[in-house]
């Protein structure tokens, strides 16, 4: 099941939305969300989540989401990549573009071994180095080596 709630000027969303058992794709882009409800266990079938173009600066800290493969949090107000994202082990595509205050990627992103696409447009990252930033797998390897040391 795909649920498209983009362009609705939503300020909040009910926490039960993230628990819908048959939900595969959730698009909450282009709203006015300032927070995501603190739901510990998201729908196990949720594979695509678009939170782009909102007013988010954080995500809940302790999210269990075994199946998220695509996450878009571009065009928000994040200062750092939320650490909860670093526990999304199935994550393959991550877009953090145009969160202008993100200056570095957390070493915990080194755990994202399945990440094949990382979109960082509009970011002025100091770390990882520019030559590593171009490829998601190189980025993960770099961050993983920093994490282990």
pTM across the whole model: 0.95
In this prediction, residue 135 carries a pLDDT of 93
In this prediction, residue 149 carries a pLDDT of 86
CA–CA separation, 84 vs 61, rounded Å? 5
According to DSSP H, which parts of 7-135 are helical?
Answer: 130-133
In this prediction, residue 46 carries a pLDDT of 93
- Residue ranges of domains in the chain, CATH in brackets: 1-149 (3.80.10.10)
Q: Is the dihedral of CA 144, 126, 121, 99 positive or negative?
A: positive
pLDDT in tens, the chain (149 residues): 999 999 999 999 999 999 898 999 999 999 999 999 988 788 889 999 999 999 999 999 888 777 999 999 999 999 999 999 999 999 999 999 999 999 999 999 999 999 999 999 999 999 998 889 889 999 999 999 999 98
**CA geometry: angle 57, 61, 93, nearest 5 deg:** 70
């Amino acid at each position: 099941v795909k649920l498209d709630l983009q362009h609705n000027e939503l300020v909040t969303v009910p926490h039960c939305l993230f628990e819908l058992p048959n939900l595969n794709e959730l698009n909450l882009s282009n709203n006015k969300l300032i927070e995501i409800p603190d739901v510990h266990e998201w729908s196990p079938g949720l594979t695509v989540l678009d939170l782009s173009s909102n007013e988010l600066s954080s995500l809940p800290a302790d999210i269990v989401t075994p199946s998220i493969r695509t996450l878009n949090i571009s065009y928000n107000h994040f200062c750092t990549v939320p650490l909860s994202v670093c526990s999304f082990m199935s994550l393959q595509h991550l877009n953090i573009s145009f969160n202008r205050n993100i200056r570095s990627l957390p070493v915990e992103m080194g755990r994202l071994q399945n990440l094949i696409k990382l979109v960082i447009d509009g970011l002025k990252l100091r770390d990882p180095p520019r030559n590593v930033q171009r490829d998601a797998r190189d980025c993960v390897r770099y961050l993983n080596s920093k994490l282990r040391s």
